[in-house]
Structure 1
Amino acid sequence: MIDQTRLLKALMDVIDEGIHVVDESGVTVLYNHQAGLNDGLTPEEVVGRHLLDVFPSLTPATSTLLKVLATGQPIPAHEQTFTNYKGQRVTTVNSTLPIFHEGRLVGAIEVSRDVTRVRELSERVVGLQAELLGRRGGRSAGASGARYTMDDLVGEHPLMAAVKEKALKAACSDSPVLVCGETGTGKELLVHAIHAASSRRRRPLVAQNCAALPEGLLESLLFGTARGSFTGAEDRPGLFELADGGTLYLDEINSMQPDLQTKLLRVLQDGRIRRVGETVERQVDVRVIASTNEDPAAAVAAGRLRRDLYYRINVVTLELPPLRERRSDIPLLVEHFLAKHSARLGVEPRPLSPEVERLFLTHTWPGNVRELEHALEAALQLASGPVITVADLPAHLQRLAAEEPVQHPDGWSLHEGTTVPRSQGGRSHVHRGDGHTLRRRLAYLERAAVEKALEEAGWNLSRAARILGLPRQTLQYRMKVLGLKRPEHMPHP
């Protein structure tokens, strides 16, 4: 018969998380190998000893295990920094749960992972940022941290034109901005462009991804630390202080823990921050721009974004459209990225083969502009012929191209020889090697789509716009660009 105790111990020693179990008095009864690696100890040094004997820097008020024993309430995903009895400093992220038996609290279990190295590296980054900004000479000097301007936002589609126009207006104020958009649509580029166009452009632009760090570490990075606030803590400014006079960009703000969102809201309201472990408040002048890769209303409904914080940061909301909704910009983006990466890689610019052009026009681009750029960058390095072929593209695009015939999102087949209707009543063919540029091919497809919708709607613009999924004003704009006019024999609806 299997020895269940030995089986449990064997299982505990092969999992990647640290497991630490104490009884109701705080004495360790189970401590696996990974927990020992996290804490710089061995199970033999911990099991059978009281928690505070092994970790003397902790107290009943700071130990998550002891707090759970005192309250009977779980503590999820909490960062804890402490020293073991050997003097080694450790930082872990713990989830701690009470253990009940027949309704009585009999102990607590903690699942942990080591983030000591992450904290050390993050604090080093903050220290280097502070040193770098200090060298620039304080508030009166300093170059912008922006790497992009509005000119880097490539696109002429009405949706992009509206975003750029609104962003330029937002740059003239200090109000918070919320940037929304799918992954790869260019949210960070837009944030840099807003900062570069603002009156703060000569002050720092500091960015932080809120999903990359646990709550405790993110808090100390944002607000700074005071000496002694936790073991090994030094007096160090946070990102708010480093961005003073400039812009702080908080990416994936919907990943920030609710308690930290509350502290961020207070800063947005009164412009004052308090370092971790300090009672003194400091005034900062920081413009906050936040971004999310999901619908912010959905994040609020799901509890990932506090409603009060949402209402405070969405003073100006900029929504970047996915690439599939602005296909007319694909030729411009292709030209831009081919020129950019050809120069960087030191290779001759290569045009796209007709097959690649056709593929680029039909692909839905789930990775958006970033996916397009990476595909072209890879192709330039792999291409050996005079043009970029399907064989030069990433594997997932090669697989897509192998699916014949390729279907346009509006339902038209775009494989070789397919005909595209024209307003003159004739037919226009898209053939391999016919010399059309990618931009002209896309114009053919767009014109055909608009004409088809107009004919189905009897040239009623509102009805045609609904068929195309466009605002009526956008349809009118595209008709003007394409030179489409109501036929003289067609009566007004």
Structure 2
Amino acid sequence: MLIVDDEGGYVRMAHKFLRRYEYATNCDLTNPCWECPHRRGCDLKQAHHWTEVSQIMARYGGDVDVVLLDINFDIEADDLISEPGLPGAMPGQEPSPKELRRFQGFHILRRLRREHGQLPVVLMTTNTAIAFNEPEIAADLADEEYTQLFDDAEISAQSLAAKIERARRMAESGQREDGEFFWGQSRSMARIRRWAEVVSKGDQPILIQGETGTGKSFIAEQVIHPLARDGKTFCSIDLGTIPENLVAAELFGTARGAYSGAVAREGRFEYADGGTLFIDEIGNLSMELQKQLLTVLQDRRVTRLGENKPRPVDVKVIVATNEPLEERVQEGSFRADLYQRLNPAARIVLPPLRERREDLRGLCAFLVQRIFASGGNRKLLEEFAELFHIRPDAVEPALTFSPKLADRPAGEGVVWFQLAGLAWQHLESYDFPGNTRQLEMILANAVMFTLSDVLAAGRVGDRPVVPIDVQLIRSLIDASGQVSRERDGLIQKEGRYRCIVAVEPHDTLNNSSRAVERQYFEDLYIHCGGDFERMAARLLEGNPSANARKVQLRFNNLGLSVRALRDRFSTD
């Protein structure tokens, strides 16, 4: 480990408590620093600035596994480096040594990335919340896959060691670890995870946008809040569920007698003081309440209804919506000044599930684990496991997509739910307008209905495997897919795809039918992104890979051009 710090605090702590690491230094001696008789007053134990970082990296070649990097460096001007576009080295401005010292760690980080690629870095972030409100720094950190942020205000060797090991594992595996939230492998979710970690450090509000069911409230509570105000109060309010005449009282509180029946009570801002307030469906706020909310965000003070005395509040505000607020601003139904105060430049936009198809298998397996984590679902799983002499407290659910049971190890203590063949193809081809929430509901019903039927019928095989029937998946999709959504000329309703076509007279009925079919194939091709296998999954039963050729032949027979439609697809 290489420590980059102009002072000695991190070195002393590391050498005292983290002695399982070897340390990269400018010293030629081989014994550990804490055993060296010359350790007092020695300046060779760490890098104090970029020049020494370069020297030590050259000495150790590729043998440095992780860097512990401070941010603020009180060093001579000649030792400072500047990376264009970061504070202290902004285009069109004179270099500022004061700003360069204040943010020197970020300049060093950028140069490390340029010269040493994926080297894991733990960035020490004491008293630097303001740094994460700097757009240039925030943008840099959002693209950082191999940097861990460590708030050392209450530093402990144990927590620092855990952060160091996590940084190393990230670099070794090439991906972020999953926590309680399923991030998957898509690049869009990887960037969102890094971005959430960055923006949570600042004091500015956070705006989360995404379709219904994409996980906005979960991101707020389980990801951002622990990073921003860990151990403090988390309070949420859904403006879509509260009558408009009660919203002000819920947010800002009331004084006794403010209106008929009003009692003195705090609102959500006061309740969340010191912690996090999550305001869902922010687009439902009336224009008058938007003005009041703007005042609270600007002044960091709240005035109860019926009072004149403002009360100071320190709250990390997170708001969420499934609406495009920028369009609402243009329409005049959402205040432009409030929108800007919500920090749209740092917003988090969660992608719909249909744009994360590479994550679908992993997400299904993750959700099955969560479905059986506790409660009545867990008890039903334990009842089934006892039939195979599996201890109830040891049983774990798992999902297999293989039609061949032999492809899956028996796995002591594992109950397999088999989602294979047509059942999986039908689920995989669905677009989930309700996103992850809808998928979880479909899976929960599928595994619970199937497990209940197996137990009720007493038809238990010789292995703890529960096959999920395709007809059940179809019926659950139809039941959950009542909401229609138009996309690329297709309408998805009740689990099926419908196309609006223009019918014109032709010389024969056959030519009229071909014209209608041609329009459907054209829209379906665009909808499926030019993937004939995905088209086959929607048009034919059986293996989509085997059927893709049939679909392509029919596509060509209808006189459609792949080149022309790909041009349309790329521009949409």
- State the identity as a percent: 33
The structure 2 residue matched to 1:333, chosen from 363, 374, 377, is 363
Structure 1 residues 224 and 398: alpha-carbon distance in aligned structure 2, compared to 1, 3 A threshold: closer
Letter in 2 for 1:321: P
Task: Check the 8 A contact 2:208/2:319 in 1, yes or no.
Answer: yes
Letter in 2 for 1:153: F
Structure 1 residues 193 and 304: alpha-carbon distance in aligned structure 2, compared to 1, 3 A threshold: farther
The structure 2 residue matched to 1:296, chosen from 321, 325, 331, is 325
Shift of 1:394: 6.5
Matches within 5 A, 1:53-202: 151-202=180-231
Structure 1 residues 353 and 225: alpha-carbon distance in aligned structure 2, compared to 1, 3 A threshold: same
Q: C-alpha separation between the residues in 2 aligned to 1:301 and 1:403?
A: 33
Matches within 5 A, 1:6-405: 151-313=180-342, 314-344=344-374, 345-346=377-378, 347=381, 348-383=415-450, 384=453, 386-393=466-473, 395=475, 397=477
Q: Does the residue aligned with 2:266 lie in a helix, a strand or coil?
A: coil
- Could you list the runs of 5+ residues in structure 2 that have no partner in the other structure? 1-177, 382-414, 455-465, 480-493, 499-519, 549-561
Q: Does the residue aligned with 1:278 lie in a helix, a strand or coil?
A: coil
Structure 1 residues 205 and 465: alpha-carbon distance in aligned structure 2, compared to 1, 3 A threshold: farther
Structure 1 residues 340 and 184: alpha-carbon distance in aligned structure 2, compared to 1, 3 A threshold: same
Structure 1 residues 398 and 150: alpha-carbon distance in aligned structure 2, compared to 1, 3 A threshold: same
What do the CA deviations read for 1:272-328 (whole angstroms, capped 9, x no partner)?
110000011100001111111111112222333211111110252000001111111
Q: C-alpha separation between the residues in 1 aligned to 2:227 and 2:218?
A: 14
Task: Check the 8 A contact 2:300/2:312 in 1, yes or no.
Answer: yes
Q: Which structure carries more helix by proportion?
A: 2
Q: Which runs of 4+ in 1 moved over 4 A?
A: 398-408, 416-419, 463-470
Judge which range, 376-385 or 365-374, deviates more: 376-385
Q: C-alpha separation between the residues in 1 aligned to 2:243 and 2:478?
A: 39
What do the CA deviations read for 1:444-475 (whole angstroms, capped 9, x no partner)?
xxxxxxxxxxxx88xxxxx99995679xxxxx
Letter in 2 for 1:371: Q
Structure 1 residues 358 and 241: alpha-carbon distance in aligned structure 2, compared to 1, 3 A threshold: same
Q: TM-score, normalized by length of structure 2? A: 0.46
Q: C-alpha separation between the residues in 2 aligned to 1:268 and 1:164?
A: 25
Letter in 2 for 1:364: D
Q: Does the residue aligned with 1:248 lie in a helix, a strand or coil?
A: strand
Structure 1 residues 293 and 241: alpha-carbon distance in aligned structure 2, compared to 1, 3 A threshold: same
Task: Check the 8 A contact 1:178/1:317 in 2, yes or no.
Answer: yes
Letter in 2 for 1:306: R
Structure 1 residues 417 and 355: alpha-carbon distance in aligned structure 2, compared to 1, 3 A threshold: closer
Letter in 2 for 1:203: K
Shift of 1:174: 1.8
Q: Does the residue aligned with 1:289 lie in a helix, a strand or coil?
A: strand
Task: Check the 8 A contact 1:248/1:288 in 2, yes or no.
Answer: yes
Q: C-alpha separation between the residues in 1 aligned to 2:420 and 2:365?
A: 14
Q: Which structure carries more strand by proportion?
A: 1
Structure with the larger RCO, 1 or 2 (CA within 8 Å, 6+ apart)? 1
Shift of 1:248: 0.7
Structure 1 residues 240 and 398: alpha-carbon distance in aligned structure 2, compared to 1, 3 A threshold: closer
What do the CA deviations read for 1:340-399 (whole angstroms, capped 9, x no partner)?
213431324412031121112211111111110000001111114631112323635258
What do the CA deviations read for 1:68-112 (whole angstroms, capped 9, x no partner)?
xxxxxxxxxxxxxxxxxxxxxxxxxxxxxxxxxxxxxxxxxxxxx
Q: Does the residue aligned with 2:347 lie in a helix, a strand or coil?
A: strand
Task: Check the 8 A contact 1:210/1:218 in 2, yes or no.
Answer: yes
Q: C-alpha separation between the residues in 2 aligned to 1:190 and 1:225?
A: 30
Task: Check the 8 A contact 1:271/1:285 in 2, yes or no.
Answer: yes
Task: Check the 8 A contact 1:390/1:401 in 2, yes or no.
Answer: no
Shift of 1:206: 0.6
Q: C-alpha separation between the residues in 2 aligned to 1:367 and 1:242?
A: 32
Letter in 2 for 1:333: L
- Could you list the runs of 5+ residues in structure 1 that have no partner in the other structure? 1-148, 421-427, 431-455, 458-462, 471-493
Task: Check the 8 A contact 2:213/2:434 in 1, yes or no.
Answer: yes
Q: C-alpha separation between the residues in 2 aligned to 1:254 and 1:263?
A: 14
Q: C-alpha separation between the residues in 2 aligned to 1:226 and 1:363?
A: 51
Q: C-alpha separation between the residues in 2 aligned to 1:380 and 1:468?
A: 39
Matches within 5 A, 1:392-471: 392-393=472-473, 395=475, 397=477, 409=528, 410-411=531-532, 412-414=535-537, 415-418=540-543, 420=545
Task: Check the 8 A contact 1:195/1:247 in 2, yes or no.
Answer: no
What do the CA deviations read for 1:34-80 (whole angstroms, capped 9, x no partner)?
xxxxxxxxxxxxxxxxxxxxxxxxxxxxxxxxxxxxxxxxxxxxxxx
CA RMSD of aligned residues (A): 3.3
Task: Check the 8 A contact 2:216/2:320 in 1, yes or no.
Answer: yes
Q: TM-score, normalized by length of structure 1? A: 0.53
Q: C-alpha separation between the residues in 1 aligned to 2:234 and 2:471?
A: 41
Q: Does the residue aligned with 1:198 lie in a helix, a strand or coil?
A: helix
Q: C-alpha separation between the residues in 2 aligned to 1:287 and 1:309?
A: 16
Q: Does the residue aligned with 1:393 lie in a helix, a strand or coil?
A: helix
Q: C-alpha separation between the residues in 1 aligned to 2:300 and 2:478?
A: 52
Structure 1 residues 155 and 466: alpha-carbon distance in aligned structure 2, compared to 1, 3 A threshold: farther
Q: C-alpha separation between the residues in 1 aligned to 2:313 and 2:186?
A: 38
Task: Check the 8 A contact 1:178/1:315 in 2, yes or no.
Answer: no
Judge which range, 311-320 or 251-260, deviates more: 311-320
Q: C-alpha separation between the residues in 2 aligned to 1:278 and 1:198?
A: 34
Letter in 2 for 1:388: I
Q: C-alpha separation between the residues in 1 aligned to 2:544 and 2:283?
A: 47
Shift of 1:197: 3.5
